[in-house]
Amino acid sequence: MPLGEFELIRQFFDRGPARRALLGIGDDAALLAPVPAGSVIAVSTDMLIEGRHFFAGADPLRLGHKALAVNLSDLASMGAQPRAFTLALALPAVDEPWLAAFRQGLFALADRFDCELVGGDTTRGPLTISISIFGEVPAGAALRRDAAQPGDDVWVSGALGAAAWAVERRRQASGLGQSAVGDGDGDGDGTSGAHSAGGADCADLRLDCPEPRVALGLALRHLARAAIDVSDGLIADLGHILERSRVGAELRWPDVPQAAELAPLPEALRQRLALSGGDDYELLFTAAPENRIAVEALGRRLDLPLARIGAIAAGSGLAVLDARGRRLEIEHGGFDHFR
Ligand code: ADP
Ligand code: MG
């Protein structure tokens, strides 16, 4: 091994004395200051495994970004302020250019959200990236999946379908042909193979570089009731809210914001991508109709489109309606589940 385990940690992940934590990398455990009285700690873990969530050869800078982004997105959907995270890394070998690019993508995002790496674990093994993240939210203000109420509006941020469309295009380009979009478990990334340690950036692809909606999540604490981030697809993730809240919902397909890239595609494919495609990491939330004006104002303040796409109903089941109010038949994935 060209670089020992401790040398690797020191060189790539230890950036000196902790700024926010009482004690960061270097001891048997990190020490975090308690949250203010009345607040609670939000904790979440997400794992990315080579061959499962990304193909071998995926750009390490983008992997560093994405591994943290999906965790930040989980905190955003709870309305929690990110504070610290730990990184468990299994590496098949010590590849210094890979590590340099990975750390760059990771820390660029961490610094933007002032979320500090306070520890982790490093071992040899099949490439696996597991991050646990810690955030802070006033008790009672967290946006839980079980809090939707009949009559609530259903909202979604941004636009949907771009990440699923990217997966589809890459699969076609790599000769794998048509495949299930929104299989609920991430993005087969067959073609972004180059180890572009210095040159790559995270500006161009929704799939590789999701933007966690942290500011939106924080601002929704007092406006929204239930929230979830769209990782498995709009229908599947709304399904989680419905199940936990024991309610139903009606969605209006014409009001669902579609990514611009989808515009030239046939409607059936656009429906599949926007309704069932995953990996967009937008926030899906419910709010009382009294808050409509405030939610719209928030979207303008954040310069982030917020679309009202349906309503929560008493009972159970999810109906997706077309422009004439007829029920759409969508034969895909999680949808049958709710028929
Ligand atoms: P231990 O033997 O107590 O598990 P380690 O030798 O695994 O400690 O790690 C030494 C220190 O480096 C610890 O503070 C640990 O949190 C930190 N660390 C290990 N791997 C990483 C990593 N990938 N990122 C950040 N910190 C790490
Ligand atoms: Mg250890």
Local mean pLDDT, 10-residue blocks, the chain (339 residues): 83 95 96 96 97 89 96 98 98 96 97 98 97 97 97 98 90 65 40 39 72 98 97 96 98 97 95 94 98 98 98 96 90 42
Q: Is residue 12 part of a domain?
A: yes
For 279-299, give one letter per residue: b (16+ CB within 10 A) or e. bbbbbbbbbeeebeeebeebb
Q: What is the distance between the alpha carbons of residues 193 and 313, in angstroms, rounded to a whole number? A: 46
Task: For residue 21, report the distance from its CA to the centre of ligand 1, in Å.
Answer: 15
Contact 78, 144 (CB under 8 A): yes
14 and 75 within one domain: yes
Q: Is residue 200 part of a domain?
A: yes
Q: Is residue 13 part of a domain?
A: yes
Which one of the ligands is nearest to 25 CA?
Answer: 1
What is the predicted pLDDT for the residue at 330?
A: 72
Tell me the pTM: 0.90
- Minimal-distance CA residue to ligand 1 atom 22: 120
For 243-257, give one letter per residue: b (16+ CB within 10 A) or e. eebebbbbbbbeebb
Q: What is the distance between the alpha carbons of residues 44 and 41, in angstroms, rounded to a whole number? A: 10
Contact 226, 151 (CB under 8 A): no
Q: What is the distance between the alpha carbons of residues 93 and 58, in angstroms, rounded to a whole number? A: 16
The two structure tokens encoding residue 215: 């500011």
205 and 177 within one domain: yes
Amino acid at 315: G
What is the predicted pLDDT for the residue at 171?
A: 81
Q: Domain range holding 270?
A: 153-321
Number of domains in the chain: 2
- Minimal-distance CA residue to ligand 1 atom 11: 26
Answer with the one of 138, 171, 198 that is the final residue of a domain.
Answer: 138
Q: Is residue 337 part of a domain?
A: no
304 and 162 within one domain: yes
Task: For residue 14, report the distance from its CA to the centre of ligand 2, in Å.
Answer: 14
- Minimal-distance CA residue to ligand 1 atom 13: 26
Task: For residue 116, report the distance from its CA to the centre of ligand 1, in Å.
Answer: 14
What is the predicted pLDDT for the residue at 224?
A: 98
CATH number of 58's domain: 3.30.1330.10
